[in-house]
Amino acid sequence: MPIAIAIVDGLPPEPEVIPEVLVPMSEHQAACEAAFSKGFQEANDHLAQQILDQRAELAQLQDAVFISLSKQHASLAAQVSETLPDLVMEIVQRVLAGMTPDRPAVERLLAETLAEIAPGSTDVEVFLSSTDLELVSRLMADYEHKYPGIKLTADPELLPGDCRAKSRFGMIDARVFTKLQNVARSLK
Q: What residue type is assigned to position 85 of the chain?
A: P
Residues of the chain with pLDDT under 50: none
Question: What does the pLDDT read at residue 49?
Answer: 94
Q: What residue type is assigned to position 25 of the chain?
A: M
Question: What does the pLDDT read at residue 12?
Answer: 66
Question: What does the pLDDT read at residue 157?
Answer: 93
Range(s) of the domain holding residue 76: 27-98
Question: What does the pLDDT read at residue 2?
Answer: 62
Question: What does the pLDDT read at residue 154?
Answer: 92
- CATH number of the domain that 138 lies in? 3.30.2320.30
Question: What does the pLDDT read at residue 18?
Answer: 78
Question: What does the pLDDT read at residue 60?
Answer: 93
Same domain assignment for residues 109 and 172? yes
Residues 6+ apart with CB under 8 A from 125: 150, 151, 152, 153, 165, 166, 167
Same domain assignment for residues 183 and 110? yes
Question: What does the pLDDT read at residue 55?
Answer: 92
Question: What does the pLDDT read at residue 127?
Answer: 93
Which pTM does this prediction carry? 0.55
Same domain assignment for residues 36 and 92? yes
Structural domain total, the chain: 2
CA atoms within 13 A on the CB side of 41: 6
A 10 A CB-CB count for 106 gives: 23
